[in-house]
Amino acid sequence: MSDALPLSISVSLAVIAVVALAYAAHVRRRERARLEILDAVLANVSDGVLVLGADGSVRNINIAAAEMFDRTEEEIAGRCLNDLLSDAPERPDEQQADEYRTDAIRSNGATFPVDVRFLQLPGQRESVLVVHDLSRVRPDATEEEQRFKQSQYFARIGTWDWRVDTDELYWSDAIYGMFGYKPGEVIPTYSLFCDAVHPDDRERVREGEIRCIETGENHDEEYRVVWPDGTIRWLRETGNVTKDETGKTVKMMGVVRDITEEREEADQIRELAFHDALTRLPNRTIFEDRLSKAIDRAKRHKKKVAVIFIDLDGFKQINDELGHAAGDRVLINTGQRLINALRASDTVARIGGDEFTVILEDLETDAEIHNIAEKILVAVSTPTELGQGTYWVGASLGIAIYPEHARTLDTLIHIADQAMYTAKAEGTNLYRIGWEFEN
């Protein structure tokens, strides 16, 4: 009996220990879950939250606070509160009020208005500050004003005004993002605006604004801006002037809109409309437009223009034996070889199938044309590695010269086309120059 009692006590103590450990683990899990929920909440609130130590230094911040002050958590940790808030007390126990309004300080020194709420945690030496950024939406703004601000963001449209006799410039919140800044991050000035405009567009934008000020004409310009990180965006700015009671222009006012995506879409549509989808070379439309302009320039400067039609020999065999993918590769390679063989001022185009055209400008003698024709034949006929073998294509060239063979676009094209068929009928890797043609 005496031996059984200690054993019973030992078992009881072991059970108590196991229960205690289980309960402790349960408490730790609940505490961990509570902290995870708390972290998730803090990460998603829009106000900045700063946890202060007993000495008043910042211990922790949430994501909104980091974005608000434009600093990382590591950059803020350990800082005194008055590095972040104007007129902030050095210690939490020196707080004058639980709620107050002051200016916050970003990393670049720019200030912005905030509301601050001070929370002392019961039984804790730590305290919490909740910081609400007033630079985005005024607390007294009406619901209609707030909707207007939001619509500006979504539409990427902002309002601006500039006092023409000073450097003073106003931006609505939406404009900051168009120049690569957060609202309130910088103080907008006309000098800041001018520096942000792309150097190639700056003079044109300035001239448009001066014209608007002097004549009262509507101001409407599209221009590029360069963000602090080097990103380039397209903006469209419209506006007009306001005058005082004496008729003197005192201010320009208007709107600005981000049109980057619109420009990119327009460029893509233009690319598809005027360039060959496979080789990216100019298509027939661009070829004929450039030929027409080349003829006009040659007429003014008493120079020659040559048009070369090129048809590949042996291309159909590659397409039939190896498939369209191999044929496409030949066409792409041919286009690049033509570009490499010619001058930057010459035009290479693909007008369909395995037919290419070339426009040569600023020619003095027929000898130049013969030399270029030989270079084209060598470039095109260089063997190409396709699949498991080496394949060769030749070319037949037909050439027409302005003004020797014709003086109009249509006739030049017709003569070059006929000369090409003559060369093709005689063999491969040959060129023929068109005949004299009366106009």
pLDDT tens sequence across 246-299: 888 888 888 898 998 888 888 777 777 788 889 999 999 999 999 999 999 999
Mean pLDDT of the chain: 81
Burial of 384 (0-12, 13-18, 19+ CB in 10 A): middle
> Which pLDDT tens digit goes with each residue over 359-387?
999 888 888 999 999 999 999 998 888 76
**Confidence at 84, pLDDT banded by 50, 70, 90:** confident
- Residue 15: pLDDT above 50? no
Which among 246, 254, 108, 240 has a CA at the least distance from the CA of 182? 108
Asked if the model's pLDDT at residue 95 lies above 70, the reply is no
User: Tens of pLDDT along 156-207?
Assistant: 678 888 888 888 888 888 888 899 998 888 889 999 999 999 999 999 999 9
In this prediction, residue 121 carries a pLDDT of 62
∠ CA(140), CA(144), CA(146), 5° rounding? 60
Is the per-residue pLDDT at 323 higher than 90? no
Instruction: Specify the pTM.
Output: 0.48
Once rounded to an integer, what is the mean pLDDT over residues 342-367?
91
Enter the tokens of residue 373: 């024709």
In three-state form (DSSP H/G/I as H, E/B as E, the rest C), the secondary structure along the chain is: CCCHHHHHHHHHHHHHHHHHHHHHHHHHHHHHHHHHHHHHHHHHCCCEEEEECCCCEEEEECHHHHHHHCCCHHHHCCCEHHHCECCCCCCHHHCCCCEEEEEEECCCCCEEEEEEEEEECCCCCCEEEEEEECCCCCCCCCHHHHHHHHHHHHHCEEEEEEECCCCEEEECHHHHHHCCCCCCCCCCEHHHHHHHECHHHHHHHHHHHHHHHHHCCCEEEEEEEECCCCCEEEEEEEEEEEECCCCCEEEEEEEEEECHHHHHHHHHHHHHHHECCCCCCECHHHHHHHHHHHHHHHHHHCCEEEEEEEEEECHHHHHHHHCHHHHHHHHHHHHHHHHHHCCCCCEEEEEECCEEEEEEEEECCHHHHHHHHHHHHHHHHCCEEECCEEECCEEEEEEEEECCCCCCHHHHHHHHHHHHHHHHHHCCCEEEECCCCCC
Predicted confidence at residue 146, as pLDDT, reads 52
Query: Does 354 participate in catalysis according to the annotation?
Result: yes
Tokens 């044309």 locate to: 369
Residues in the chain, total? 439
Instruction: Identify the weakest region by mean pLDDT among 12-16, 68-72, 133-137, 328-332.
Output: 12-16
Active-site hit among 313, 354, 362, 417 = 354
Residue 135 has pLDDT above 70, yes or no: no
Banded pLDDT at 94 (limits 50, 70, 90): low
Q: Poorest-confidence range of 3-17, 45-59, 353-367? A: 3-17
| pLDDT interval class at 7 (50, 70, 90) | very low
**Greatest Cα-to-Cα distance within the chain, rounded to the nearest angstrom:** 137
Q: At what angle do helices 284-301 and 409-426 cross, to 10 degrees?
A: 110
Banded model confidence at residue 91, pLDDT cuts 50, 70, 90: low
Higher pLDDT, 377 or 73: 377
Percent of the chain with pLDDT over 90: 34
Question: Considering the chain, what percentage of its residues have pLDDT values greater than 70?
Answer: 80
Contact 386, 370 (CB under 8 A): no
Q: What is the mean pLDDT of residues 234-238?
A: 91
Residue 27 pLDDT greater than 70, yes or no = no
pLDDT of residue 397: 96
Burial (CB < 10 A; 0-12, 13-18, 19+), residue 397, is: buried
Give the other-Cβ count within 10 Å of 42's Cβ: 17
